[in-house]
Structure 1
């Protein structure tokens, strides 16, 4: 993170803060969260630690947001979660919050441990809740002991799908089907793609705009969509294992294990098969969308699907996500939640919202 990524702020360290916060991850989402921590909405929060994958800074008295980028860039401190936790403990604040804005499997594996130790955890990291079933169950066991976990940013970049699904499930409303577009990058690509421009050209443009990961295989493989579907299915009461989601990857087999540079050089190999599928769909008056689907028997699948132009997913814009929930009480028409499902600003806002929801500030 460069100094340009950090906002100019005049606010000094808040000595009477209710909560001490340590942020893991200083990438685009972490940088967006730092900007929000400099706003009046976060006036009762004290940032005591910030880490990227290589270095960290911490101070129980609070870090100055105006210079945090330079502090992290010049830090000689190697990564040590124990030191960050110690800064939380030494802060004297009644609430201690660890924010995981990484995609690290190692960091996610510590969530249950931190919760058991009495820290709150707020996360955009899907690796635990959307990974192996044992990880999900470890979280549920901690929740029964009173752990407080904010995960709104893991699905839909803060769109209210997880709290809605939890409320329906708590009220005894059974999920019959779940269908939708869960990837902002794949939403953008297939909202644009009609066969008139090679798919690889659209993919390069989406990557340039920052809509995909630097290595677009993260998006095209379907693995990220599958993790989100697993999280939603588990919240709805389906104890699905990671191997129970059928996933269609859009990455050609020869490009799956090569370097990122070799993949980007070979993007044109995606074009022929997708152009053929697009033309076949158009001949039936349909369009292509990358959908996630779950039925009431727990069958879960993500992949490229033909849908008619009357289908809700055919009318999306930009990077919109869409979640259509058919339940025993929303049966005649599904309950649809739709909106921007990607972007550092909305993801960071979901993290801040979960932080503030951990306890009343007003």
Structure 2
């Protein structure tokens, strides 16, 4: 024999009840007990009507009318018109009785617990009767049975205790004798032995089903609801959450206690004692496997089975030197909370006995502070104990699993995952059974924490990176194209899932919490709101996603000035913008320090050599104990392009213009040709080598005439290049006479750095450097004579974008 329980969402209206009928029809093999709740929301309406009546607010009649209309409409939709008369008459009769009860509350100006039970019971009575009649009209062998005739309780209205001895006898006798194959019972309601209606409290319909299932030794208790079982996390907050196929009673109750609302633990106690399985199923998706809850059932010995949370929590702390070594303090503390009917869901105490901290509902915190301070007034006045401290705006998150105690390092893994994502832990608790590890965090971090933990423990090591991209010019556009093309490869091969959540240019910005479709990002951005770098940061901070990365593809000083805000909020920064790392040393150091402090990588490989692994190689040399003696480099792809294409058959102006058109120079080409860009690069390499250096310490030997350097816009700059063409031709001719090539060289040695145009003779490592290539020679303690050489394309949107991409992958692999 099976027991099927359908909750309020499953019987909310006629279409839902039709689904219930199909499920029951497909389930019935032998006798089947169907326990139903009131139509969705009706219990709340009944309680509201009762409250209005008790304060003599005549609006209770309007609420009662709504209840009547809902039930009459259900009858008209479910029952053929030829058979409606009897059912409608019965429903109206019950509504009339209900009206009389509410009138009584109106007249006596109060709701007694016993009267409340009688009023509320009509939700289930009406629902069960209508559904049973519908089953009969559909040709099903069904019968209606009033649960009050089976389940007996004491006289404690509103919180009645079941009298199991008489209840079990009633159930076994009735179900052994009844001949119908389907018996429909109203949940939640019972009666005392004196015949007074009582209710079974929170989770009452579940309790009804469990009581009956245990009494008749049911094969299984199926709980039909609006979700497909118990999930690894709340699917409304964690999109990747999935249903758990098998779980133990203990695990299910832990998950339910910490926020998974599918079960109310006290209501399943009867079946737990009998070892009867509970199957959670979805009324709207009956073919889904759901979750089977059984005794000691742990699928494949898994450790963490679920991650859950309790919202709207507060911490209440009692502390002071007068608590140390004083027996009975904890007893008094918990007793005063108990007397105030305040439930404690989380407890932690320092081993020094100096403080006790408990988690309670935020709704109870004001009363809790008052009663605790009153109880300990004597100790507080004498300075032995401080006044109770309350901290609001918190949630509890918990890892749950029977086998967690057999695996070392789970706590460390949990807390390090939260730490990496800047989730501050306010308190920690872990029971001796080690079935759950709980932590208190601020409410605003819940979604990020759940997603980060779910990714760590359930998602087969697929790590989601959430990107916020500033700048979509040549480099930015290429970068987004590369992300779109490589997403599938990264997910399948590197277990990285990249989502671009925000994009901004200098005019507009757009965000999509589910990820911006990269095939049409340009149209989405064009329709975005006005760009604002501070607003962009605030939106990133507000979204509060795990593994967030800010990607700066601009050359803007203003954008670079925001890096510290991102890093201080544990948001990684990847940039090709050289401004920040070549700014004042103190600013550079602050950014590096923030990255370490908040565990937020700050990567800028593309600052030097575009996509070449120059900075990364330098870091590895330093980390391995090597010491940089000298750096010689050609670090400007644009200048190398210019001097590789400039000769006596071209003009310097035309070559620079071509370099700019092909994306090799900055938007302001003077930055490249004046040597400023190269100065920044050698400065960054010197700093990454462990040296304190400012841009003003670097000697710059310009080859441009002073008049050209003094121009203020590109038009004047190019005009000046034309004017001084003879000077540039002389530079080329002099190099030709010396059988050399012109290269713009950066050098660092003995704490001194310089940049300038040089004639490079044949045989030198720089001589055959083609196109826009860069080259770096690292002379170190380990490479004193033959340097370590890094050479390759050092400019261009594609390679720079690939360098940014590589930095993001590095973060993903951290």
Quick one: distance in 2 between partners of 1:261 and 1:328?
48
Deviation at 1:158, TM superposition (A): 2.0
SS in 2 for 1:158: coil
Please name the residue that 1:136 is paired with: 588
Counterparts of 2:489 and 2:540, CA distance in 1 = 23
2:262 is the counterpart of 1:262: no
- The residue aligned with 1:57 is 510
Q: For the residues of structure 1 that align with 2:724 and 2:656, how far apart are their CA atoms?
A: 10
* Of 472, 480, 491, the match for 1:34: 480
The structural deviation recorded for 1:35 is 0.5
Deviation, 1:80, is 4.2
The partner residue of 1:169 within 618, 622, 640 is: 622
Q: Return the offset for 1:87.
A: 4.4
**Equivalent pair of 1:133/1:240 in contact (CA under 8 Å):** yes
Paired with 1:42 and 1:49, the residues of 2 have a C-alpha distance of 20
Aligned equivalent of 1:112? 564
Please give the residue correspondences for 1:304-343 in structure 2 after superposition, counting only pairs within 5 Å.
304-343=757-796
Q: Show structure 1 runs of 4+ deviating over 6 A.
A: none
- Rate the CA distance shift 1:251–1:277 in 2: closer, same or farther, 3 A: closer
2:683 is the alignment partner of 1:230:
yes
Give the paired residue count: 346
Per the alignment, in what secondary structure is the counterpart of residue 742 of structure 2? strand
Tell whether the 8 Å contact from 2:686 to 2:693 is kept in structure 1 after alignment.
yes
CA–CA separation in structure 2 for the residues paired with 1:271 and 1:177: 35
Q: Distance in 1 between matches of 2:625 and 2:640?
A: 32
Q: Do the aligned partners of residues 208 and 325 (structure 1) sit closer, same or farther apart at CA in structure 2, a change above 3 Å counting?
A: same
Give 1:279 shift.
2.2
- Counterpart for residue 218 of structure 1: 671
CA distance in 2, matches of 1:89, 1:96: 12
Shift of 1:119: 0.6
Match of 1:25 in 2: 471
Residues 38, 65 of structure 1: 8 Å contact kept: yes
| Structure-1 separation of matches of 2:540 and 2:738 | 61
Q: Per-residue deviation at 1:360?
A: 3.1
Query: 1:139 Cα shift?
Result: 1.8
Could you say what secondary structure the match of 1:201 adopts? helix
Report the Cα distance in structure 2 between the residues aligned to 1:200 and 1:217, rounded to whole angstroms: 12
For the 8 Å contact 1:58–1:87, the answer to whether it is kept is: no
Of 717, 739, 743, 1:289 maps to 743
TM-score by length of 2: 0.41
Pick closer, same or farther for the CA change 1:141–1:315 going to 2, 3 Å.
same
Please give the alpha-carbon distance, in whole angstroms, between the structure 1 residues aligned to 2:649 and 2:786: 34
Cα shift at 1:193: 2.8
With over 3 angstroms needed to count, the CA separation of the structure-2 counterparts of 1:211 and 1:360, relative to structure 1, is: closer
**Which protein has the larger Cα radius of gyration, Structure 1 or Structure 2?**
2
The answer (yes or no) to whether the contact 1:200–1:270 under 8 Å persists in 2 is no
Tell me, yes or no, if structure 1 residue 157 matches structure 2 residue 603: no
Distance of 1:25 and 1:340 partners within structure 2: 22
State which drifts further: 42-51 or 328-337: 42-51
Residues 143 and 207 of structure 1: CA distance in aligned 2, closer, same or farther (over 3 Å): closer
* Aligned partners of 1:199 and 1:270 also within 8 Å: no
- Over 3 Å counting, the alpha-carbon distance change for 1:99 and 1:214 in structure 2 is closer
Shift of residue 313 of structure 1? Answer: 1.1
CA contact (8 A) 2:777 2:788 kept: yes
Alignment partner of 2:574: what SS? Answer: strand
Please state if 1:277 is matched with 2:741.
no
For residues 481 and 619 of structure 2, what CA distance do their matches in structure 1 show? 30
The verdict on how the C-alpha distance between 1:154 and 1:245 changes in structure 2, with shifts beyond 3 A counting, is same
CA deviation map 1:259-284 (0-9, x unaligned): 32122223223322222232223222
* 1:312 match: secondary structure: coil
- CA shift for structure 1 position 311: 1.1
CA contact (8 A) 2:466 2:499 kept: yes
For residues 764 and 533 of structure 2, the distance between their equivalents in structure 1, rounded to whole angstroms, comes to 49
Distance in 1, matches of 2:766 and 2:474, equals 28
Q: Once the two structures are superposed, what CA deviation does each residue of 1:63-97 show, in whole Å capped at 9, x if it has no partner?
A: 12122101212323332444455346537x42111
Quick one: distance in 2 between partners of 1:94 and 1:259? 43
- Separation in structure 2 between the aligned mates of residue 164 and residue 65 of structure 1, nearest angstrom: 32
TM-score by length of 1: 0.89
1:8-28: per-residue Cα shift (whole Å, max 9, x none)? xxxxxxx65712110010111
| Cα offset, 1:33, TM superposition | 1.0
Q: Summarize deviations over 1:143-179 as a string: whole Å, max 9, x none.
A: 3413311211111112111111111111221111111
Distance 1:190 1:80 in 2: 37
Question: CA, structure 1 residues 322+270, in 2 after alignment: closer, same or farther (shift >3 Å)?
Answer: farther
**Structure 1 pair 134–87 and aligned structure 2 pair: CA distance change class (3 A):** closer
8 Å CA contact 2:745, 2:756 repeated in 1: yes
Instruction: For 1:208 and 1:289, locate their aligned partners in 2 and report how far apart those are by CA, in whole Å.
Output: 21
